[in-house]
Protein backbone atom coordinates (compact mmCIF):
# COMPACT_ATOMS: atom_id res chain seq x y z
CA UNK A 1 0.00 0.00 0.00
CA UNK A 2 1.34 3.47 -0.83
CA UNK A 3 1.72 6.14 1.80
CA UNK A 4 -0.19 9.29 1.04
CA UNK A 5 0.84 12.25 3.14
CA UNK A 6 -2.58 13.89 2.94
CA UNK A 7 -4.73 10.97 3.98
CA UNK A 8 -2.37 8.59 5.76
CA UNK A 9 -2.77 4.84 6.02
CA UNK A 10 -4.13 2.38 8.51
CA UNK A 11 -0.77 1.67 10.02
CA UNK A 12 0.19 4.78 11.92
CA UNK A 13 -1.24 6.05 15.17
CA UNK A 14 0.14 9.53 14.66
CA UNK A 15 -2.13 12.55 14.87
CA UNK A 16 -2.09 12.81 11.11
CA UNK A 17 -3.54 9.33 10.77
CA UNK A 18 -6.16 9.55 13.43
CA UNK A 19 -9.74 9.42 12.16
CA UNK A 20 -11.49 12.79 12.14
CA UNK A 21 -14.00 11.52 14.69
CA UNK A 22 -11.04 11.20 17.12
CA UNK A 23 -9.67 14.64 16.31
CA UNK A 24 -7.66 13.93 13.14
CA UNK A 25 -7.92 16.11 10.04
CA UNK A 26 -11.06 15.30 8.01
CA UNK A 27 -10.49 13.62 4.64
CA UNK A 28 -12.95 16.01 2.94
CA UNK A 29 -13.09 19.34 4.80
CA UNK A 30 -15.52 20.68 2.17
CA UNK A 31 -17.71 17.58 2.32
CA UNK A 32 -18.35 14.82 -0.20
CA UNK A 33 -22.01 14.26 -1.16
CA UNK A 34 -23.38 10.79 -1.93
CA UNK A 35 -24.20 11.69 -5.53
CA UNK A 36 -23.42 14.63 -7.69
CA UNK A 37 -25.38 15.15 -10.89
CA UNK A 38 -23.48 16.62 -13.83
CA UNK A 39 -25.07 17.02 -17.26
CA UNK A 40 -22.82 15.10 -19.65
CA UNK A 41 -23.28 17.44 -22.64
CA UNK A 42 -24.81 20.74 -21.59
CA UNK A 43 -24.59 22.42 -25.00
CA UNK A 44 -26.12 19.42 -26.72
CA UNK A 45 -28.92 19.31 -24.16
CA UNK A 46 -29.71 23.01 -24.54
CA UNK A 47 -29.94 22.48 -28.29
CA UNK A 48 -32.30 19.54 -27.83
CA UNK A 49 -34.48 21.44 -25.39
CA UNK A 50 -34.67 24.39 -27.77
CA UNK A 51 -35.76 21.99 -30.50
CA UNK A 52 -38.55 20.63 -28.30
CA UNK A 53 -39.73 24.13 -27.32
CA UNK A 54 -39.66 25.30 -30.95
CA UNK A 55 -41.68 22.26 -32.06
CA UNK A 56 -44.55 23.26 -29.77
CA UNK A 57 -44.99 19.59 -28.87
CA UNK A 58 -44.17 19.13 -25.23
CA UNK A 59 -45.62 15.64 -24.93
CA UNK A 60 -46.44 12.77 -27.31
CA UNK A 61 -43.69 13.85 -29.70
CA UNK A 62 -40.68 12.44 -31.54
CA UNK A 63 -38.13 12.93 -28.76
CA UNK A 64 -39.73 10.25 -26.56
CA UNK A 65 -39.83 7.93 -29.55
CA UNK A 66 -36.15 8.55 -30.19
CA UNK A 67 -35.24 7.89 -26.55
CA UNK A 68 -37.13 4.59 -26.77
CA UNK A 69 -35.29 3.59 -29.93
CA UNK A 70 -31.87 4.48 -28.58
CA UNK A 71 -32.51 2.68 -25.30
CA UNK A 72 -33.76 -0.40 -27.19
CA UNK A 73 -30.61 -0.41 -29.34
CA UNK A 74 -28.39 -0.04 -26.29
CA UNK A 75 -30.09 -2.97 -24.53
CA UNK A 76 -30.54 -5.01 -27.71
CA UNK A 77 -34.21 -5.53 -26.80
CA UNK A 78 -37.08 -5.20 -29.32
CA UNK A 79 -39.38 -2.88 -27.34
CA UNK A 80 -38.88 0.02 -24.99
CA UNK A 81 -41.80 2.12 -23.72
CA UNK A 82 -40.91 5.36 -21.92
CA UNK A 83 -42.97 6.29 -18.87
CA UNK A 84 -43.08 9.11 -16.34
CA UNK A 85 -41.15 7.12 -13.73
CA UNK A 86 -40.16 3.60 -12.77
CA UNK A 87 -42.88 3.23 -10.13
CA UNK A 88 -45.66 3.95 -12.65
CA UNK A 89 -43.97 1.64 -15.17
CA UNK A 90 -43.97 -1.20 -12.66
CA UNK A 91 -47.63 -0.55 -11.80
CA UNK A 92 -48.66 -0.72 -15.44
CA UNK A 93 -46.61 -3.83 -16.19
CA UNK A 94 -48.08 -5.63 -13.17
CA UNK A 95 -51.59 -4.55 -14.14
CA UNK A 96 -51.02 -5.84 -17.67
CA UNK A 97 -49.60 -9.09 -16.24
CA UNK A 98 -52.88 -9.78 -14.44
CA UNK A 99 -51.99 -8.83 -10.87
CA UNK A 100 -55.32 -8.34 -9.07
CA UNK A 101 -57.48 -9.36 -6.13
CA UNK A 102 -54.75 -8.64 -3.55
CA UNK A 103 -53.08 -11.88 -4.60
CA UNK A 104 -49.47 -12.29 -3.42
CA UNK A 105 -46.69 -10.74 -5.47
CA UNK A 106 -43.45 -12.32 -4.34
CA UNK A 107 -40.53 -9.88 -4.02
CA UNK A 108 -37.42 -9.22 -1.95
CA UNK A 109 -37.69 -7.42 1.39
CA UNK A 110 -34.31 -5.91 0.52
CA UNK A 111 -35.40 -3.41 -2.12
CA UNK A 112 -36.67 0.14 -2.38
CA UNK A 113 -40.23 0.74 -1.17
CA UNK A 114 -41.43 1.50 -4.72
CA UNK A 115 -41.17 -2.19 -5.70
CA UNK A 116 -43.79 -3.06 -3.10
CA UNK A 117 -45.85 0.08 -3.62
CA UNK A 118 -46.18 -0.71 -7.33
CA UNK A 119 -47.51 -4.19 -6.53
CA UNK A 120 -49.98 -2.69 -4.07
CA UNK A 121 -51.23 -0.03 -6.49
CA UNK A 122 -51.58 -2.63 -9.24
CA UNK A 123 -53.96 -4.55 -6.96
CA UNK A 124 -51.63 -7.19 -5.52
CA UNK A 125 -50.17 -7.70 -2.07
CA UNK A 126 -46.42 -7.92 -1.41
CA UNK A 127 -45.05 -11.23 -0.16
CA UNK A 128 -41.46 -10.75 0.93
CA UNK A 129 -38.54 -13.16 0.53
CA UNK A 130 -34.90 -13.19 1.62
CA UNK A 131 -31.79 -11.71 0.02
CA UNK A 132 -28.70 -13.66 -0.96
CA UNK A 133 -25.78 -13.33 1.43
CA UNK A 134 -23.27 -12.72 -1.40
CA UNK A 135 -24.83 -9.81 -3.27
CA UNK A 136 -28.11 -8.97 -1.50
CA UNK A 137 -30.26 -9.69 -4.59
CA UNK A 138 -33.32 -11.96 -4.24
CA UNK A 139 -32.49 -15.47 -2.96
CA UNK A 140 -33.98 -17.87 -5.55
CA UNK A 141 -34.27 -20.84 -3.18
CA UNK A 142 -36.13 -18.83 -0.55
CA UNK A 143 -38.31 -17.20 -3.23
CA UNK A 144 -39.20 -20.62 -4.61
CA UNK A 145 -40.19 -22.02 -1.22
CA UNK A 146 -42.40 -19.03 -0.38
CA UNK A 147 -43.94 -18.99 -3.84
CA UNK A 148 -44.84 -22.67 -3.53
CA UNK A 149 -46.48 -22.05 -0.14
CA UNK A 150 -48.39 -18.97 -1.36
CA UNK A 151 -52.10 -19.00 -2.08
CA UNK A 152 -52.65 -18.22 -5.78
CA UNK A 153 -49.57 -16.01 -6.36
CA UNK A 154 -49.90 -13.40 -9.10
CA UNK A 155 -46.30 -12.56 -9.99
CA UNK A 156 -42.63 -12.78 -9.07
CA UNK A 157 -40.60 -9.57 -8.84
CA UNK A 158 -36.87 -9.16 -8.36
CA UNK A 159 -34.61 -6.11 -8.08
CA UNK A 160 -31.14 -5.71 -9.59
CA UNK A 161 -29.93 -4.14 -6.34
CA UNK A 162 -27.24 -1.44 -6.88
CA UNK A 163 -27.13 -2.61 -10.52
CA UNK A 164 -26.02 -6.15 -9.63
CA UNK A 165 -27.82 -8.53 -12.01
CA UNK A 166 -30.11 -11.04 -10.31
CA UNK A 167 -29.87 -14.82 -10.70
CA UNK A 168 -31.96 -14.52 -13.86
CA UNK A 169 -31.81 -18.17 -15.00
CA UNK A 170 -32.93 -19.58 -11.65
CA UNK A 171 -35.64 -16.95 -11.22
CA UNK A 172 -37.06 -17.64 -14.69
CA UNK A 173 -37.16 -21.36 -13.95
CA UNK A 174 -38.97 -20.69 -10.66
CA UNK A 175 -41.49 -18.31 -12.25
CA UNK A 176 -42.20 -20.80 -15.06
CA UNK A 177 -42.67 -23.66 -12.60
CA UNK A 178 -45.11 -21.55 -10.57
CA UNK A 179 -46.85 -20.31 -13.73
CA UNK A 180 -46.43 -16.63 -12.83
CA UNK A 181 -44.91 -13.70 -14.77
CA UNK A 182 -41.45 -12.50 -13.73
CA UNK A 183 -41.06 -8.71 -13.60
CA UNK A 184 -37.81 -6.94 -12.77
CA UNK A 185 -37.41 -3.73 -10.88
CA UNK A 186 -34.41 -2.68 -12.95
CA UNK A 187 -34.38 0.87 -11.54
CA UNK A 188 -30.61 0.61 -10.96
CA UNK A 189 -29.80 -1.55 -13.96
CA UNK A 190 -29.66 0.61 -17.07
CA UNK A 191 -26.26 -0.47 -18.41
CA UNK A 192 -25.94 -3.73 -16.40
CA UNK A 193 -25.49 -7.13 -18.07
CA UNK A 194 -25.94 -10.74 -16.96
CA UNK A 195 -23.36 -13.05 -18.55
CA UNK A 196 -23.02 -10.62 -21.45
CA UNK A 197 -26.76 -10.15 -22.03
CA UNK A 198 -27.91 -6.59 -21.26
CA UNK A 199 -30.41 -6.19 -18.45
CA UNK A 200 -33.69 -5.37 -20.22
CA UNK A 201 -33.92 -8.82 -21.82
CA UNK A 202 -35.02 -10.82 -18.78
CA UNK A 203 -38.44 -11.86 -17.54
CA UNK A 204 -41.68 -10.53 -18.97
CA UNK A 205 -40.43 -6.96 -18.62
CA UNK A 206 -37.77 -4.90 -16.89
CA UNK A 207 -38.48 -1.40 -15.61
CA UNK A 208 -35.77 1.26 -15.31
CA UNK A 209 -35.66 4.57 -13.49
CA UNK A 210 -34.14 7.79 -14.84
CA UNK A 211 -34.57 9.83 -11.66
CA UNK A 212 -31.60 11.97 -10.58
CA UNK A 213 -30.00 9.48 -8.16
CA UNK A 214 -29.71 6.88 -10.92
CA UNK A 215 -26.87 6.48 -13.44
CA UNK A 216 -28.86 7.63 -16.50
CA UNK A 217 -31.03 10.63 -15.74
CA UNK A 218 -34.06 12.24 -17.39
CA UNK A 219 -34.94 14.53 -14.46
CA UNK A 220 -37.80 12.16 -13.74
CA UNK A 221 -38.53 9.22 -15.99
CA UNK A 222 -38.73 5.49 -16.53
CA UNK A 223 -38.31 2.93 -19.29
CA UNK A 224 -40.01 -0.43 -19.72
CA UNK A 225 -38.04 -2.95 -21.78
CA UNK A 226 -39.72 -6.10 -23.08
CA UNK A 227 -39.47 -8.68 -25.83
CA UNK A 228 -43.27 -9.00 -25.80
CA UNK A 229 -44.80 -6.91 -28.61
CA UNK A 230 -48.35 -7.21 -27.27
CA UNK A 231 -47.27 -6.05 -23.82
CA UNK A 232 -45.46 -3.05 -25.33
CA UNK A 233 -48.62 -2.10 -27.22
CA UNK A 234 -50.75 -2.41 -24.07
CA UNK A 235 -48.29 -0.23 -22.16
CA UNK A 236 -48.47 2.51 -24.81
CA UNK A 237 -52.22 2.60 -24.23
CA UNK A 238 -51.89 2.20 -20.45
CA UNK A 239 -49.56 5.19 -20.02
CA UNK A 240 -52.18 7.32 -21.81
CA UNK A 241 -55.14 6.64 -19.43
CA UNK A 242 -55.91 3.36 -21.22
CA UNK A 243 -57.03 5.43 -24.21
CA UNK A 244 -56.46 3.65 -27.54
CA UNK A 245 -56.94 6.95 -29.38
CA UNK A 246 -60.72 7.35 -29.51
CA UNK A 247 -61.25 8.23 -25.82
CA UNK A 248 -63.17 5.00 -25.31
CA UNK A 249 -60.69 3.76 -22.68
CA UNK A 250 -60.06 0.03 -22.64
CA UNK A 251 -59.07 -0.21 -18.96
CA UNK A 252 -58.19 2.17 -16.11
CA UNK A 253 -54.73 3.33 -17.12
CA UNK A 254 -52.64 6.20 -15.79
CA UNK A 255 -51.20 9.38 -17.05
CA UNK A 256 -47.70 7.93 -17.05
CA UNK A 257 -46.34 9.64 -20.15
CA UNK A 258 -42.81 10.95 -20.30
CA UNK A 259 -42.69 14.54 -21.53
CA UNK A 260 -40.60 15.59 -24.53
CA UNK A 261 -38.50 17.78 -22.24
CA UNK A 262 -37.64 14.85 -20.01
CA UNK A 263 -36.86 12.68 -23.03
CA UNK A 264 -34.43 15.36 -24.24
CA UNK A 265 -32.62 15.16 -20.91
CA UNK A 266 -32.71 11.35 -21.01
CA UNK A 267 -31.15 11.22 -24.49
CA UNK A 268 -28.27 13.35 -23.24
CA UNK A 269 -27.57 10.86 -20.46
CA UNK A 270 -27.96 7.79 -22.66
CA UNK A 271 -25.13 8.93 -24.94
CA UNK A 272 -21.87 7.62 -23.50
CA UNK A 273 -23.62 5.48 -20.88
CA UNK A 274 -21.47 2.35 -21.47
CA UNK A 275 -18.31 4.42 -20.96
CA UNK A 276 -19.67 5.91 -17.73
CA UNK A 277 -20.67 2.47 -16.47
CA UNK A 278 -17.17 1.17 -17.26
CA UNK A 279 -15.65 4.12 -15.39
CA UNK A 280 -17.81 3.43 -12.34
CA UNK A 281 -16.67 -0.21 -12.44
CA UNK A 282 -13.04 0.92 -12.52
CA UNK A 283 -13.64 3.20 -9.53
CA UNK A 284 -15.19 0.35 -7.56
CA UNK A 285 -12.19 -1.86 -8.42
CA UNK A 286 -9.95 0.96 -7.16
CA UNK A 287 -11.90 1.08 -3.90
CA UNK A 288 -11.71 -2.71 -3.56
CA UNK A 289 -7.91 -2.65 -4.00
CA UNK A 290 -7.46 0.18 -1.51
CA UNK A 291 -9.67 -1.50 1.11
CA UNK A 292 -8.51 -5.10 0.56
CA UNK A 293 -7.73 -7.02 3.72
CA UNK A 294 -9.69 -4.83 6.13
CA UNK A 295 -11.28 -7.24 8.62
CA UNK A 296 -15.07 -7.47 8.43
CA UNK A 297 -15.40 -5.37 5.28
CA UNK A 298 -16.60 -6.49 1.85
CA UNK A 299 -18.35 -4.88 -1.12
CA UNK A 300 -21.63 -5.75 -2.83
CA UNK A 301 -20.20 -6.98 -6.15
CA UNK A 302 -21.68 -8.69 -9.22
CA UNK A 303 -20.68 -12.24 -10.14
CA UNK A 304 -17.62 -12.78 -12.32
CA UNK A 305 -18.67 -12.18 -15.95
CA UNK A 306 -21.57 -9.87 -15.02
CA UNK A 307 -21.62 -6.09 -15.37
CA UNK A 308 -23.06 -3.74 -12.75
CA UNK A 309 -23.84 -0.07 -13.22
CA UNK A 310 -22.77 0.38 -9.59
CA UNK A 311 -25.64 2.75 -9.10
CA UNK A 312 -24.34 2.48 -5.54
CA UNK A 313 -21.00 1.58 -4.07
CA UNK A 314 -22.12 -0.34 -1.01
CA UNK A 315 -20.04 -1.76 1.83
CA UNK A 316 -21.23 -4.80 3.77
CA UNK A 317 -19.85 -4.84 7.30
CA UNK A 318 -19.42 -7.66 9.74
CA UNK A 319 -19.69 -5.46 12.83
CA UNK A 320 -18.04 -8.00 15.16
CA UNK A 321 -14.97 -8.25 12.92
CA UNK A 322 -14.78 -4.63 11.78
CA UNK A 323 -15.38 -3.35 15.30
CA UNK A 324 -18.09 -0.87 14.29
CA UNK A 325 -21.57 -1.32 12.90
CA UNK A 326 -22.85 0.58 9.86
CA UNK A 327 -24.31 3.43 11.92
CA UNK A 328 -21.07 3.92 13.81
CA UNK A 329 -19.05 3.83 10.58
CA UNK A 330 -21.52 6.32 9.07
CA UNK A 331 -20.90 8.66 12.02
CA UNK A 332 -17.12 8.26 11.67
CA UNK A 333 -17.31 9.00 7.93
CA UNK A 334 -19.56 11.98 8.54
CA UNK A 335 -16.77 13.44 10.67
CA UNK A 336 -14.50 12.96 7.62
CA UNK A 337 -17.00 14.96 5.55
CA UNK A 338 -18.23 11.84 3.73
CA UNK A 339 -21.96 11.48 3.15
CA UNK A 340 -23.37 7.94 3.37
CA UNK A 341 -26.75 6.16 3.27
CA UNK A 342 -28.00 2.87 4.62
CA UNK A 343 -29.46 1.53 1.37
CA UNK A 344 -31.86 -0.18 2.08
CA UNK A 345 -32.78 0.38 5.71
CA UNK A 346 -35.33 -0.25 7.00
CA UNK A 347 -36.02 -3.11 4.57
CA UNK A 348 -39.52 -2.97 3.10
CA UNK A 349 -40.99 -5.83 5.15
CA UNK A 350 -40.14 -3.74 8.26
CA UNK A 351 -41.68 -0.49 7.02
CA UNK A 352 -44.88 0.91 8.52
CA UNK A 353 -46.62 0.65 5.13
CA UNK A 354 -46.55 -3.13 5.31
CA UNK A 355 -46.89 -3.76 9.06
CA UNK A 356 -50.41 -5.09 8.39
CA UNK A 357 -48.92 -8.00 6.43
CA UNK A 358 -47.34 -9.40 9.60
CA UNK A 359 -44.06 -10.31 7.90
CA UNK A 360 -41.80 -8.11 10.02
CA UNK A 361 -40.19 -11.09 11.80
CA UNK A 362 -39.96 -13.39 8.79
CA UNK A 363 -36.72 -12.31 7.10
CA UNK A 364 -33.84 -12.62 9.60
CA UNK A 365 -31.09 -12.73 6.97
CA UNK A 366 -32.45 -9.63 5.25
CA UNK A 367 -32.66 -7.89 8.63
CA UNK A 368 -29.02 -8.68 9.31
CA UNK A 369 -27.88 -7.57 5.84
CA UNK A 370 -29.93 -4.37 6.01
CA UNK A 371 -28.22 -3.61 9.33
CA UNK A 372 -24.80 -4.23 7.70
CA UNK A 373 -24.85 -2.11 4.53
CA UNK A 374 -23.43 1.34 4.05
CA UNK A 375 -23.42 3.13 0.70
CA UNK A 376 -20.56 5.57 0.14
CA UNK A 377 -20.27 8.32 -2.49
CA UNK A 378 -19.79 7.40 -6.14
CA UNK A 379 -20.61 9.32 -9.27
CA UNK A 380 -19.82 9.02 -12.93
CA UNK A 381 -17.30 11.86 -13.13
CA UNK A 382 -15.55 11.05 -9.83
CA UNK A 383 -11.80 10.53 -10.16
CA UNK A 384 -9.72 7.65 -8.84
CA UNK A 385 -7.94 9.84 -6.28
CA UNK A 386 -11.27 10.75 -4.65
CA UNK A 387 -12.46 7.16 -4.43
CA UNK A 388 -9.07 6.19 -2.95
CA UNK A 389 -9.43 8.91 -0.37
CA UNK A 390 -12.87 7.56 0.62
CA UNK A 391 -11.41 4.05 0.85
CA UNK A 392 -8.47 5.31 2.93
CA UNK A 393 -10.89 7.00 5.33
CA UNK A 394 -12.65 3.65 5.85
CA UNK A 395 -9.35 1.79 6.13
CA UNK A 396 -7.82 4.12 8.70
CA UNK A 397 -10.85 4.12 10.99
CA UNK A 398 -10.84 0.33 11.48
CA UNK A 399 -7.70 0.01 13.68
CA UNK A 400 -9.25 2.67 15.92
CA UNK A 401 -12.63 0.94 16.02
CA UNK A 402 -12.74 0.43 19.79
CA UNK A 403 -11.74 4.02 20.48
CA UNK A 404 -14.23 5.30 17.91
CA UNK A 405 -17.04 3.21 19.36
CA UNK A 406 -16.26 4.54 22.82
CA UNK A 407 -16.10 8.14 21.57
CA UNK A 408 -19.42 7.78 19.73
CA UNK A 409 -20.97 6.19 22.79
CA UNK A 410 -20.20 9.31 24.76
CA UNK A 411 -21.90 11.76 22.39
Ligand X SMILES: *Cc1c(COP(=O)(O)O)cnc(C)c1O
Q: Is the CB of residue 21 less than 8 Å from the CB of residue 332?
A: yes
Q: How far is CA 173 from CA 150, 180, 194, 245, 251, in A?
A: 17, 10, 16, 38, 31
Q: Contact with ligand X (CB under 6 A): which of 111, 234, 314, 340?
A: 111
Query: Does residue number 87 form part of the binding site for ligand X (CB under 6 A)?
Result: yes
Rounded distance between C-alpha atoms, residue 400 and residue 390, angstroms: 16
Among 66-74, 111-119, 144-152, 280-288, which window interacts with ligand X (CB under 6 A)? 111-119
Taking the complex as a whole, how short is the minimal distance between the CB of residue 115 and ligand X, in angstroms? Answer: 5
Size of the site for ligand X (CB under 6 A): 14
Residue 115 touching ligand X (CB under 6 A):
yes
> Does residue 67 touch ligand X according to CB under 6 A?
no
User: Do 228 and 24 meet the contact criterion of CB atoms below 8 Å apart?
Assistant: no
Instruction: Name which position in 107, 114, 156, 378 contacts ligand X (CB under 6 A).
Output: 114
Please, are residues 334 and 327 in contact by the beta-carbon 8 Å criterion? Answer: no
**Identified binder of ligand X from the candidate list 85, 234, 307, 308, rule CB under 6 A:** 85
> Rounded to 5 degrees, what are φ and ψ at 65?
-60, -45
112 lines the binding site for ligand X (CB under 6 A): yes
406 SS3 class:
helix
For ligand X, which is the closer residue by CB, 17 or 95?
Answer: 95
* Alpha helices (runs of H) in 25-155, residue ranges in sequence order: 42-55, 62-75, 86-96, 113-122, 140-149
For 246-300, give the DSSP string.
Answer: SS--SS---B-PPBHHHHHHHHHHHTTHHHHHHHHHHHHHHHHHHTTT-TTEEE-
Query: In whole angstroms, how close is the CB of 314 to ligand X at the nearest point?
Result: 12
Q: Does 351 bind ligand X (CB under 6 A)?
A: no
Work out whether 209 is an interface residue with ligand X (CB under 6 A).
yes
Q: Is 346 exposed, middle or buried (0-12, 13-18, 19+ CB in 10 A)?
A: middle
Residue 187 C-beta: closest distance to ligand X, Å: 3
> From CA 332, how far away is CA 310, in angstroms rounded?
23
Choose the stretch contacting ligand X; rule: CB under 6 A; options: 38-46, 109-117, 142-150, 358-366.
109-117
Q: Is 366 in the site for ligand X (CB under 6 A)?
A: no
Among the candidate windows 38-46, 54-62, 85-93, 400-408, which touches ligand X by CB under 6 A?
A: 85-93
**Between 11 and 255, CB nearer to ligand X:** 255
- Name which of 25, 8, 3, 64 is nearest 259 in CA terms: 64
Relative to beta strand 104-108, strand 125-129 is: parallel
Under rule CB under 6 A, residue 391 binds ligand X: no
Site string for ligand X, 139-178 (x = CB under 6 A): --------------------x-------------------
Q: Which of 187, 205, 225, 232 binds ligand X (CB under 6 A)?
A: 187
Closest among 307, 376, 292, 313 to 339, alpha carbons compared = 376
Q: Which residues bind ligand X (CB under 6 A)?
A: 85-87, 111-112, 114-115, 159, 185, 187-188, 209, 211, 222
Amino acid sequence: MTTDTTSGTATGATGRNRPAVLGGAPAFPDGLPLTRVRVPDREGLLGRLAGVLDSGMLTNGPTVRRLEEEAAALMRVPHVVAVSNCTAGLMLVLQAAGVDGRRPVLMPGFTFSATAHAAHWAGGSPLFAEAREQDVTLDPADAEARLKAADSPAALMATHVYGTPCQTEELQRIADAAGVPLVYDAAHGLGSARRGVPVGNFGLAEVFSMSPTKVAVAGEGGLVATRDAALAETLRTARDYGNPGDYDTLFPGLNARMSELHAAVGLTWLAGLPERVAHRGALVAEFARAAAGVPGLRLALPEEGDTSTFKDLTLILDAAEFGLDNRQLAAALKAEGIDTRRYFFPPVHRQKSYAHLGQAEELPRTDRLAASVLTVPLWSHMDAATVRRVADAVVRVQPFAAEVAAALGRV
